[in-house]
Structure 1
């Protein structure tokens, strides 16, 4: 019985350590929301041109592990993207997840009607190369939507 308890204790400890390491590698919902709010404040204080340049900087203050900011206008055009600058200027309304979900349309609809929210979809994780559940937090700020997603 003593060996079983020892094994169980070690197993639980290992599980907790592995989960905390995993969490440290990935952003949380609270961190995504905080980054969006920080980005909106940055746009207001520095102006869009300066802010978008900082958002596009993959080594800048708006990139943290797998968290980054992207900004789209109310028609779905990408204005800034912290993970892939090649996407700037693209129409994101054409994006679909692996289940053909038009998640950008969902983001725009909620942003226009409620001002902020979360949208879930399936998306390739650049770290694992696997399709994973992703959730993006966004807020409407004037005529743009500022967003940051997390992998679940």
Structure 2
């Protein structure tokens, strides 16, 4: 009887763990986000117009699950690349966290020339409403500031 209970408990634990592991694979990691922003920096150095076109194209090689490259003009804060086309031409500094904190100001101030920096904040996952801990890695290349964020 004890063996049957132990096997049942083990099977139940496995049944719960497998979907959790599978869902974790649906999200990018810190290392993957940082690698993607570094790849974006190299691509920007090779040519800004071509890089921005790739970042804005879903098939351009700069989107992976919930990871994507976004960019804004380092001087003006105007969005130049983002999957949400409604943001294009607006100012990154207008972004707020759900509690009203100035997220956009943090993103605007963080990028440094050729050095990857990061900003921690809370933001809902796509399709969600509750804020989740997120970290975004940012870098400045020429006149562009670009980032990639992941949910912790």
Alpha-carbon offset, residue 76 of structure 1: 2.0
The normalised TM-score by structure 1 is 0.85
Alpha-carbon offset, residue 113 of structure 1: 9.3
Instruction: Give distance in 2, aligned partners of 1:59 and 1:129.
Output: 27
The normalised TM-score by structure 2 is 0.85
Alignment-derived partner of residue 88 in structure 1: 88
Q: Deviations over 1:1-54 (max 9, x none)?
A: 212321232233233312221122111111111110111111112x11111011
Instruction: Give distance in 1, aligned partners of 2:149 and 2:21.
Output: 20
Worse-superposed segment, 58-67 or 122-131: 122-131
Mapped contact 1:56–1:80 kept (Cα < 8 A) = yes
Alignment-derived partner of residue 4 in structure 1: 5
Alignment-derived partner of residue 26 in structure 1: 27
Matched, 1:149 2:120: no
- Give the alignment's Cα RMSD to 1 decimal: 2.2
- Structure exhibiting the larger radius of gyration computed from Cα positions: 2
Matched, 1:61 2:61: yes
Mapped contact 2:124–2:130 kept (Cα < 8 A) = yes
Structure 1: any 5+ residue segments left out of the alignment?
Answer: none
What does 1:91-110 align with in structure 2 at a 5 Å threshold? 91-110=91-110
Alpha-carbon offset, residue 70 of structure 1: 0.3
Q: The residue matched to 2:58 in structure 1 has which SS?
A: coil
Q: The residue matched to 2:119 in structure 1 has which SS?
A: strand
Question: How many residues align structurally?
Answer: 150
